[in-house]
Each structure stands twice: as structure tokens, then as C-alpha cells.
Amino acid sequence: MWVTADHHWGHRNIARLQDRPLDHEDLMARLWHERVGTDDHVLHLGDLLVFPAVEDVTRYQALLSSLPGEKRIMLGNHDRRLRTLYRVCGFEVVAGYRERLHLVMDGRRICFSHRPDNDDGTWDVNVHGHVHSSAILPPPGRRLINACVEVTGYAPVRLRDLLSA
């Protein structure tokens, strides 16, 4: 399974706000195509498509639809589009903003969320987005893993690689 977060496709100021390269959208699409196979599973942790101009929606729909993989998304704070748009773009919405998904893998309780999760004792590792390149201190005895594109080289990353880093 691949994990990624916070592409912010269509956000006109994200390159400046997060010090991204000017060609970050092309880079993110290229790296996704290079890494993810058609039958691979991808979990996007939110903020996929942010405020594109109306005239750009069709272009982003084509771009996102072309990305390979079985794509699922947990909505982020900027994912304010109708869920239908995400489906049309090839993403299954599996959780709303503020919701969490849980998985047990290799004996570790993993929590997936858009924002870093406040520890309620139900997880060992929280894989999250939202904070871009910021570092967040984890609760005692827990581990936070930032899956934002700014810290993953603008590409989806295998969950096993994130957990072993």
C-alpha cells in the first residue's frame, strides 16, 4: 500500500507558501506514475485538490483520473468539493475530515488521519498529513509519521517504508 498527502493540486499559492519547486504539479504526477502500479492501493490522507479555478477543473479531473492505482482518500480540511468529484477523479472517499482509519500491521496499531492525531491510547503509530514540512512532537510512547509530499520527495511512499524509516 502507498500513502501520500497534501498535494494541493490547483492551489495557486502553495509553491510560495511551502517553498515547492515551480514545476511541483508535473513532478508529483510524474513520480506517482513512476512508482504506483495499476493494481497498487493508494491511501491519500487529504488535501488533494484545492480551489482550482472553474476553468481548470476539467484539466485536474483528467490529471487525477490518469494517476494509476486503486485510489482512496480521507478528506482533508481543504477537500471541500462534492464527493462526486473525487469519484469522477478515480478516488473512493473512505473517511471524512476529522475521521480516522485504523489498521494493525506487524503487531503495531496504526492510525491514519489528515491532521496529526491527539493520542487517545488506541494507536502506536499515526500516519498523517496536514502539517506539510513542519515537525510535530508525538505524544509519549507514540510515533507520528508525516506523509505530506514536502517530506516524501513529492511522491507516494510505501507504507512499509514509512514505518521502517
The CATH architecture that domain 2-159 belongs to is 4-Layer Sandwich (3.60)
Who's near 42: CB < 8 A, 6+ residues apart? Answer: 1, 2, 3, 4, 36, 67, 69, 70, 71, 72, 156
- The residue extents of the domains of the chain are 2-159
Convert 71-123 into a string of H (helix), E (strand) and C (coil): EEEECCCCCCCCHHHHHHCCEEEEECCCCCEEEEECCEEEEEECCCCCCCCCC
pTM comes to: 0.95
Pairing state of beta strands 2-4 and 41-44?
Answer: parallel
Q: Mind listing the pLDDT tens digit of every residue in the chain (165 residues)?
A: 999 999 999 998 999 999 999 999 999 999 999 999 999 999 999 999 986 677 888 899 999 999 999 999 999 999 877 788 899 999 999 999 999 999 999 999 999 999 999 777 889 999 999 999 988 888 888 899 999 999 999 999 999 999 998
Contact between 35 and 3 under an 8 Å Cβ cutoff? The reply is no
Start-to-end C-alpha separation, the chain: 16
CA 19 to chain centre: 18
> Please, are residues 125 and 103 in contact by the beta-carbon 8 Å criterion?
no
